[in-house]
Chain A
Amino acid sequence: MNFIPHTKEHISKMLSVVGCSTLDELVSEFIPRLSELNLDNPMSEMELVSYMTSLSEKNSPMKYFVGGGSYDHYIPAVINHLVSRGEFLTSYTPYQPEASQGVLQVLYEFQSFICLLTGMDVSNASLYDGASAVAEAALLSSAYTKRKGVFVDDGLNPAYLKVLKTYCDGTELCITNTIDENTACVISQTPDFYGNIKNPHGLIEKAHAHHALFINCISDPTSLAILKTPGEFGADVVVGEGQAFGIPTSFGGPYLGFIAVKQFLTKKLPGRIVGMTTDDQGNEGFVLTLQAREQFIRRERATSNITTNQTLLALTATIYLALLGRSGLQNVARASYHRAHLLQEKLSKIGFEAINTSPFYNEFLVKSPKPSEEIIANLMEYNIFGGIDVGDNRLLVCCTEKNLLQDINSYVSVVSK
């Protein structure tokens, strides 16, 4: 394929304007030409489609009863049609606000949705993913408290914990076992990785007693439709993964990190923030604001190095939330909750031990009567991905509104064999 519009005549005309006789001469004038490159012959569009399709067919998407940081909720058809509009898709960071009012307003609406759902005051315009959002929140806490200790409650997604540890090692923060006068923040996930819904009240009091910030991490934010908001509980920072809002599982990315804070932390936020303002005629419009926090102005004194974010996914989430609205999101949350509880009940009748100690949302932990690898392998034969093996014959199982009653019945009938 060739996406270059020039004819041979154009190229020679342009070369003569710049004072060169050939393209090779033009580049070799100042770029040392070094070792040879070995790539295959170019593919036509038809060859490319055939090749990439053959690779995609080596994967086996299934009926998912699996979450663990990636949730298979239903994606309304409208989303893809709107997100694919070239005006959104092929634009970039809105440096020229007057040419970017569409994306800027979408991000303002996104920030508003995140604040409404989490009960927080201010949201940024997105971060890379759930894991880096947790790490950015720890960095924010350290910058605010001038402390280096990071306390992590049990039940944080193990992948997030690993990424947090990578960031801590690199930035000289320290994950600790105690909450004390060196603690910058206390990080807790609810519902946690094993599905438990926690009441963070006690931990928040403890964090605040030591003047540390409390960070609430959320893995499947559809849960916010039915759960009391972290803001109401008194969290200072809420971070999480927004993939559940209309973004395909896509083998783990691109996803949507989000971060929202209480008012007093606004100027410590990393990344882009959109604000509403006016022109000199009083017409309302949107711009990127508080840019003095950011790397391209403040350089070594920036709040973070993040530049490119996940705007298109923020757009996806915004349209998802707009389409579902209050009743739709509540339905998704309630359906996910009820399906998961139904499956847990059915499994506990056939010898699976329910081991969650707290109420759960759409993910739960069961101890299998048979080796868990065997259970997973059996289900896969029926095109069902039945759970994450978390060791000790324990399975982490998840339901969304997509897991219909008949799917739940097939799951149960396969594992009871």
Chain B
Amino acid sequence: MKLIFDYNQSNTKHTPDEEKDVDLPEELKRSSLLLPDVNEVQVIRHYTELSKKNYGIDTNFYPLGSCTMKYNPRVNEDLAKLPGFSNLHPHMPASHAQGALQVIWELEGDLKEITGMDAFSLQPAAGSQCELLGVMIAKKYFAEKNENRTKIIIPDSAHGTNPATASMCKFQTVTILSDDRGNMDLDEFKKAIGPDVALVMITNPNTLGLYEENLSEIKDLAHEKGALMYCDGANMNALLGISKPADQGFDMIHLNLHKTFSTPHGGGGPGGGALGVKSFLEDYLPVPRIKKENAQFVFDSNQEKSVGKLHSFYGNFGIIVRALSYIRSWGSDIHKISQIAVLNANYLFTLLKEDFDVPYDRRCAHEFVISAKNFGEKSTANIAKRITDYGFHAPTIYFPLIVKEALMIEPTETESKETLDEFANVLKTIIKELKEDPEVVKNAPHTIPGRLDEVKAARQLNLRWVPHES
């Protein structure tokens, strides 16, 4: 393995000829700069080689549950790179950035239509920053009403970001266990809901891939006690054009633009967040908002109730361009995305049911959770590693935490029946191996490097290259 720091010095220059030194006091000047000087050809080869050691949707099926790894249309990449978008400086006055403001305005409009919410902010950089914004809005809303609400109700199947966000904002998390159908337990919820609850955060469909069956009753009880309903919309790929979260009784929803609207996940980001609210919460959204006045788009920072600003500028604009392009390419056909996503999940679920333990045997939405607990401890990790040997990416594993040896599988709508059949066959083959030749699974993946020692990584920290003494 060779790091970029291991290459020999060379003389590549991409910049104007050698510049003369700067005239700064010595105590402010840098004494040495230990960066490698690597030739352009070597740089290309180095990172091309690294890309070959990486697995993406473009490589093959990537059924990572809760992440919506669908095909990222290439045209959207080109559109985000149009010079009028990518070379636009964020301090440019609104008069010279009308197209950019219109893009933001139009995406807000489409998201309102899709979710039924009354207003959106596209400032958050990702879903977790949306959650932070949502919780801040709830906090400010109740503070202004002089209501002392200290708790946030979250089901035990929720993403870890929900409780993490609640504690960042000094709320106490009340965890509600799931019932035997995978719903938030209604009796437990009834005991927990009260005048001290600010927010009920629900992922719908939940992380088990199941539609929350008690939602209507939960919503009524929450509203009766004055609490707000927040939807973690990470799983919106199940609902597009079928059901609007506002109609389900939510007061706020966040969408992950990179998931539902298929902007590339980039190895872990950038994402894009969108927070939608009902009209009574609109004034709390971050500034600047974008308004349309006399056919002109303008920035509006005069919002007294706003929680403030959340992003260095206006959000992840390049992601906003891609998401708008994606939605416009689907338009009124957008329900087909969710219909096929649900079909693909149910099809694969049906194929795998006979081989795995099924914790909740219900019609799933766009993803499903099965368990490998019958094959012994750690078998999920082993299966996941073995899947890599067969050329597929593994599903999300050991999540949600409430299912032992969980495999969370989200096929998405862009995978063909043929791919799903192949993937099911691979899992069936691995299970056969577990019975007949378990070592081949336990030692997977059979790659170089093979299974990496995560315990060692955490105990003997090596987090950076260190220059050799010279």
Contact = CB atoms under 8 A, between A and B. Distances in A.
**A and B part of one assembly:** yes
A324 interface: yes
Interface stretch (B222-230, B275-283, B409-417): B409-417
A330 interface: yes
B465 A34 contact: no
Given A298-B160, A324-B15, A160 B312 contact: yes
Contact of B70 (A3, A54, A132, A302): A3
B421 to A, nearest CB: 10
Contacts of A125: 268
A26 B86 contact: no
B20 A2 contact: no
Contacts of A172: 169-170
A202 to B, nearest CB: 12
Interface string B244-270: 100110000000101000001111111
Given A255-B312, A326-B37, A171 B168 contact: yes
A37 B15 contact: no
B363 interface: yes
B186 interface: no
Contacts of B339: 23-24, 26-27
B318 interface: yes
A130 B125 CA distance: 12
Nearest to A7: B417
A66 B467 CA distance: 36
B309 A162 contact: yes
Interface string A109-146: 10111011100011101101111100000010000000
A307 B132 CA distance: 12
Nearest to A158: B309
B237 to A, nearest CB: 12
A306 B448 CA distance: 31
Contact of B393 (A41, A96, A283): A96
B-side interface size class: 35 or more
Contact of B75 (A48, A170, A300, A313): A48
Given A37-B334, A291-B458, 7 more contacts: A88-B54, A98-B451, A128-B311, A157-B312, A249-B87, A277-B456, A312-B267
B345 to A, nearest CB: 9
A272 B266 CA distance: 14
B58 interface: yes
Interface string A319-344: 10111111111111111011000000
B163 A3 contact: no
B64 A252 contact: no
Given A55-B99, A275-B462, A308-B271, A129 B311 contact: yes
Given A11-B343, A92-B265, A3 B34 contact: no
Interface-central residue, B78, B336, B351, B461, by most chain A CB under 10 Å = B461
Interface stretch (B22-30, B192-200, B370-378, B428-436): B22-30
20 contacts: A27-B339, A30-B211, A41-B331, A52-B328, A69-B313, A86-B58, A87-B51, A91-B266, A105-B1, A111-B464, A170-B168, A225-B33, A249-B87, A251-B90, A275-B461, A280-B453, A300-B173, A326-B34, A359-B24, A359-B28
Given A58-B98, A129-B311, A227-B28, A90 B57 contact: yes
Contacts of B449: 98, 101, 278-279, 281, 283-285
Contacts of A273: 463
B318 A254 contact: yes
Interface string A217-233: 00000001111110000
Nearest to A53: B82
B35 A329 contact: yes
Nearest to A133: B312
A302 to B, nearest CB: 4
A45 B248 CA distance: 34
Given A31-B242, A99-B55, A52 B325 contact: yes
Given A3-B71, A58-B98, A89-B264, A251 B312 contact: no
A112 B465 contact: yes
Given A159-B313, A312-B264, A249 B5 contact: no
Interface string B362-383: 1101000000000000000000
B352 to A, nearest CB: 12
A49 interface: yes
Contacts of A276: 457, 462-463
* Most A C-beta atoms less than 10 A away, residue of B47, B71, B461: B47
Most buried by B among A157, A285, A304, A313: A285
A106 interface: yes
B5 A109 contact: yes
Given A52-B321, A59-B96, A106-B50, A94 B465 contact: no
Interface string A337-372: 110000000000000000000010000000000000
Most B C-beta atoms less than 10 A away, residue of A24, A26, A112, A229? A112
Contacts of A321: 35
Given A122-B463, A166-B309, A334-B20, A251 B97 contact: yes
B89 A5 contact: no
Interface in A22-48: 23-24, 26-27, 29-35, 37-43, 45, 48
B308 interface: yes
B405 interface: no
A17 B347 contact: yes
A13 interface: yes
Contact of B132 (A55, A162, A305, A308): A305
A307 B270 CA distance: 11
A49 B315 CA distance: 23
B267 A92 contact: yes
A1 B329 contact: yes
B327 interface: yes
Interface string B330-360: 1111111111101110110111000000000
Interface stretch (A74-82, A179-187, A208-216): A74-82
Q: Which of A64, A91, A107, A171 has the most CB of B within 10 A?
A: A91
A285 B1 contact: yes
Contact of A111 (B48, B57, B88, B463): B463
